[in-house]
Structure 1
Amino acid sequence: MNEIRISSPDGAAATISLFGAHLMSWKTADGKERLFLSQRSALDGSAAVRGGVPVIFPQFATRGDGLRHGFARTATWRAVGQGDSWAELALAQSDLPAATFKTWPRAFELRLRFELKGNTLALRYIVRNSGMQDFQWAGALHTYFAVADFAQATLDGARFDGALDEIRPATPVLRLDTGAGTLQLEQQGFSEWVVWNPGAEGAAATADMDDGDFRRFVCIEPARVDKQVLAAGAEWTGHHTISLIP
């Protein structure tokens, strides 16, 4: 995979793949990896990556008649800007192979910006309708957070219990105790938080995940789960900011 690496003066670093605009790694200034990435995930562009931050567009899960979680996570994006501590990637209708375009023939442009600011990672997700007709879309930043032990991790003080697949109304801030530090999660523009973990049975039934991997992560993703209309010529922006709390 073609990758972009960014870093900040304090030692924080991130790696982004052009395949799916996928955030593969985020290490805070203490050198600790804050994202989970399955060792069994295909990393050759043949399938969506299991872990990191998959980009969901234009459909969430199977809530529609298109590809599960859409095509953005398996498309090849373009790098359109980069500095030492930031990078921005783009995907447009013209970047899609013909077979994908036939399944969703609408003019659009996606932009995803990653920026490191000390022990904070800021993501900005832009969806533009560059065509002459309205379209409906859903999306998310499907973040896999690394935890020391899923059974001991807490979200806003509450411990997790078994497999999870929860859709919660959006709140500005959540706090995740990973067992290796507390992360503050903030979002703007999205309408839900999705909290997910497959549990033991789900992990065992998932080909690109080791049986015990469910103990090592929890997904907490800012999302727009149900499709909503974006008018012709209009633009939507969502923000997802993750900070390590001292």
Structure 2
Amino acid sequence: MVDRRNKPMALATTPGLPPQPQVNFSHANSRVTAVLPTGESVVILLYGATVISWKNRFGMEKLWLSDAAKLDGSKAVRGGIPLVFPVFGTAPDHAPTSKLPQHGFARNSRWEFLGKSSSESAGPSDTSVKLDFGLSSNTLEDGVKSQWPYTFSIIYSVTLTPESLSTSIVITNDGAEPIDFQVLMHTYLRVNDISQIQVTGLEDSEYVDKVDAAKTKSQSGAVAITGETDRVYTPAKGPSNAVAVAEEGETIFTVVRDNLKDVVVWNPWTEKAAGMGDFEPKDGFKKMICIEAGSVNGWVSLDPGDAFEGAQTISD
């Protein structure tokens, strides 16, 4: 081969777009998975718009999901982040919601995937993806409509960044009469050892102790879990003050709320876990703690045409 003294220069390549978040459907289009270029991921079931997985870039799961959780739409999911609306627990004395099942219908309804959006700044580490889901009175099953005959629409958004997971909700009253409701993001956080957990950010706050005849008490110091725990806190410092979960003295989660005034702290402990058919393994309570952002101490009243917005951001 003849050696050419003046070889042509290679053509300059046009820089491509930066890596984009990947969003895919699976399980007969019943699940949406988003993966960031940096490796973080989130999985949401269209049934209940329930977040069932949140992993960091190393593939470590941040949420607790029962081994016996039903993921086929046959019942509400045990674990992840089920969405409670329009009633927390049951409210037999509250006429508008008295006919509804425990925790309402949002977690038992099939939501519509409305689309995704992403943002990039200077580098791939700043990439995020936002997934939007919708539910309205028009798409509810007839049985649910008969139990709660109000006209509404909801947009629920799940935003994944390399550092955090955010869930936000916009509830609009599309009808001609006021709507009373409660809303809660029932987040199951994964921990290594519940006996080593302390929750801070709730100091000097009043709470309703549902394990002790719904007595109103005041929190002094950090919260430790030593038995069945079911408390509705109204944090004294307001939603923007972080509620932190520390394990062996190291902060592993922080939860910041926006317009969600209450925080439920829940762990079923031994007997309660044993009595729940979809809670597996039975000692799984040692590996989880629920820190649930919501407005559930009383009722939110929404006038016709008005909208309610609330959100939480969980950082690890």
TM range (shorter): over 0.9
Match of 2:45 among 13, 17, 20: 17
| 1:180-191 superposed matches below 5 A | 182-191=252-261
Q: Which residue of 2 aligns with 1:164?
A: 229
Q: Which residue of 1 aligns with 2:11?
A: none
Moved more, 155-164 or 229-238: 155-164
Asked if residue 177 in structure 1 is aligned to residue 246 in structure 2, the reply is yes
For each residue in 1:103-134, what CA deviation from the matched residue of structure 2 results, as whole angstroms up to 9, or x when unmatched?
00000111111111212111111111111111
Asked if residue 59 in structure 1 is aligned to residue 130 in structure 2, the reply is no
Asked if residue 206 in structure 1 is aligned to residue 234 in structure 2, the reply is no
C-alpha distance in 2 between matches for 1:238 and 1:184: 17
Higher Rg of the two aligned structures: 2
C-alpha distance in 2 between matches for 1:113 and 1:7: 16
Asked if residue 30 in structure 1 is aligned to residue 101 in structure 2, the reply is no
| 1:78-97 superposed matches below 5 A | 78-83=112-117, 85-97=129-141
TM superposition shift of 1:83 = 3.7
Moved more, 222-231 or 176-185: 176-185
Q: 8 Å contact 2:245–2:254 — kept in the other structure?
A: yes
C-alpha distance in 1 between matches for 2:35 and 2:130: 8
C-alpha distance in 2 between matches for 1:238 and 1:208: 29
C-alpha distance in 1 between matches for 2:49 and 2:254: 23
C-alpha distance in 2 between matches for 1:63 and 1:27: 35
Moved more, 37-46 or 138-147: 37-46
TM superposition shift of 1:178 = 4.7
Code of the aligned partner of 2:290: C
Code of the aligned partner of 2:244: R
Q: Which residue of 1 aligns with 2:183?
A: 139
Q: Structure 1 residues 78, 151: CA separation in 2 closer, same or farther (over 3 Å shift)?
A: same
C-alpha distance in 1 between matches for 2:60 and 2:198: 19
Unaligned 5+ runs, structure 1 = none
Quote the sequence identity (%): 30
TM-score (norm 1): 0.95
Asked if residue 5 in structure 1 is aligned to residue 33 in structure 2, the reply is yes
Q: Which residue of 1 aligns with 2:195?
A: 151
Moved more, 60-69 or 153-162: 153-162
Q: 8 Å contact 1:6–1:86 — kept in the other structure?
A: no
Asked if residue 242 in structure 1 is aligned to residue 314 in structure 2, the reply is yes
Q: Which structure has the higher relative contact order (CA within 8 Å, separation 6+)?
A: 1
C-alpha distance in 2 between matches for 1:12 and 1:107: 37
TM-score (norm 2): 0.74
SS for the counterpart of 2:104 is coil
TM superposition shift of 1:7 = 2.0
Match of 1:217 among 283, 288, 297: 288
Code of the aligned partner of 2:227: G
Q: Which residue of 2 aligns with 1:128?
A: 172
For each residue in 1:21-73, what CA deviation from the matched residue of structure 2 results, as whole angstroms up to 9, or x when unmatched?
00010012232100000011112111000000000110001134121100000
Q: 8 Å contact 2:153–2:174 — kept in the other structure?
A: yes
Code of the aligned partner of 1:70: G
Q: 8 Å contact 2:173–2:302 — kept in the other structure?
A: yes
Q: 8 Å contact 1:3–1:18 — kept in the other structure?
A: yes
Q: 8 Å contact 2:244–2:251 — kept in the other structure?
A: no
Code of the aligned partner of 1:220: I
Q: Which residue of 2 aligns with 1:194?
A: 264
For each residue in 1:138-164, what CA deviation from the matched residue of structure 2 results, as whole angstroms up to 9, or x when unmatched?
010000001111111221254322110
SS for the counterpart of 1:36 is coil
Q: Which residue of 2 aligns with 1:39?
A: 67
